[in-house]
A and B are shown apart, each in its own frame.
Chain A
Amino acid sequence: MMRHAITPISPKVSQYGVDPSLVKTRAADLPGMTSVYLKELFPDLPDVIFPGENGIEKVKEAAYKALMKVNMSMIKPEHSVNILASHHGFTLLGGWPYAELLKTIKDVIEKRTGCRDIRLRAGVGMRFRETEEYIKRYGLDKYFNGKAVGVAPVDEGIPIKTEIGTLYGLKRVYDADWIVHTHHSDVREVHFHRQVDKALKPFGMSYARIETRSTYHQNLGPRGANFVARALFDSDFVQKKFAFAAFLDVAPNGIVGVDVDNDLYRLNDKVTLIGCKQYGKIMTLFGEIDKCIAVLDFPCPVPYVFSGGVIYANFAGANTDLYDLNKPMPPYTWYTEAFYGKNGKPLLDSIPPINPAIKMCIHNYAWTGYPSAFFAQHIPTLVVGNEQAELFNRDPLNLNYMNYAALVKDLETAMNFAYTAAETKNVIVFDGAMGALNVSEPLAKLLLEKAPGVSRRVDKELLPKWLRQRGVDVSVLKK
Chain B
Amino acid sequence: MKKVTLLPRVNNDRCKACHTCEKVCPVLAIKVKQRKAVVDADRCRGCANCEQRCPFNAITMTKRDKAFEVGVDVKSVDYKDIIDLCVKAHLHPEQTICYCVGVRAEEVAAAILKGAKTPEEISLETGIRTGCTIECIQPILRLLDAAGYKLEPVEGGWQWYGKTATAWDLSKEVKEKYSSRGFYFEEDRKVLDKIIDGCKKGEDK
Contact = CB atoms under 8 A, between A and B. Distances in A.
Interface of A: 126, 128-129, 152-157, 159, 163-168, 194-197, 209-215, 217-224, 226-227, 230, 325, 328-329, 334, 337-343, 345, 347-348, 370-371, 373-374, 393-394, 396-400, 469-471
B204 A164 contact: no
A214 B187 contact: no
Contact of A215 (B100, B138, B178, B188): B138
Interface string B121-162: 000000000111111111100100000000000000010111
B34 interface: no
B92 A339 contact: yes
A347 B96 contact: no
Given A218-B97, A220-B165, A334-B135, 14 more contacts: A159-B161, A164-B169, A164-B170, A211-B162, A214-B137, A214-B164, A230-B178, A329-B191, A338-B95, A338-B96, A339-B195, A347-B195, A373-B102, A396-B6
Interface string B12-39: 0000000000011000000000000000
Given A154-B53, A196-B182, A218-B139, A347 B130 contact: no
B114 interface: no
A197 B167 contact: no
B3 A347 contact: no
Contacts of B101: 399
Contact of A211 (B3, B161, B188): B161
Given A165-B164, A214-B136, A334-B135, A227 B61 contact: no
Q: Ordered nearest first, which 4 A-B pairs have the shortest CB separation?
A: A221-B188, A196-B182, A223-B184, A214-B138
Interface of B: 2-3, 5-6, 23-24, 46-49, 52-53, 61, 63, 92, 94-97, 99-102, 104, 130-139, 142, 158, 160-167, 169-171, 174, 178, 180-185, 187-189, 191-192, 194-195, 198, 204-205
Given A154-B158, A224-B188, A329-B191, A128 B182 contact: no
Contacts of A214: 134-139, 164
B94 A396 contact: no
A210 B61 contact: no
13 contacts: A154-B53, A155-B24, A155-B53, A157-B161, A168-B161, A196-B183, A197-B181, A219-B166, A338-B96, A343-B205, A348-B198, A373-B102, A469-B182
A166 B100 contact: no
Best-surrounded residue of B164, B170, B184, B194 (most CB of chain A within 10 A): B164
A151 to B, nearest CB: 10
Nearest to A168: B161
Contacts of A217: 135
Nearest to B196: A347
Contacts of A394: 5-6, 61, 63
A22 B185 CA distance: 47
A343 B158 CA distance: 36
B135 to A, nearest CB: 5
A223 to B, nearest CB: 4
B163 to A, nearest CB: 8
Contacts of B47: 396
Nearest to A219: B166
Contacts of B6: 394, 396
A396 B8 CA distance: 12
A397 B132 contact: yes
Contacts of B182: 194-197, 223, 325, 469-471
B95 A215 contact: no
A219 B167 contact: yes
Contacts of B135: 210, 213-214, 217-218, 334
A227 B185 CA distance: 9
Contacts of A471: 180-182
Contacts of A393: 5
A223 B187 contact: yes
A406 to B, nearest CB: 20
B165 A215 contact: yes
Given A347-B92, A347-B195, A347-B198, A165 B133 contact: no
B48 A396 contact: yes
A163 B49 CA distance: 31
B65 to A, nearest CB: 15
A345 B171 CA distance: 34
A337 B98 CA distance: 10
A220 B167 contact: yes
Contact of B102 (A167, A227, A400): A400
Contact of A325 (B97, B133, B160, B184): B184
A334 B138 contact: no
A48 B144 CA distance: 52
A371 B135 CA distance: 11
A363 to B, nearest CB: 18
Given A157-B161, A338-B95, A211 B5 contact: no
Given A154-B24, A218-B139, A212 B164 contact: yes
Contact of A156 (B104, B134, B158, B164): B158
Contacts of A213: 134-135
Contact of A126 (B63, B97, B134): B134
Contacts of B24: 154-155
A209 B96 contact: no
A337 B205 contact: no
Nearest to A400: B102
Given A218-B138, A223-B188, A211 B164 contact: yes
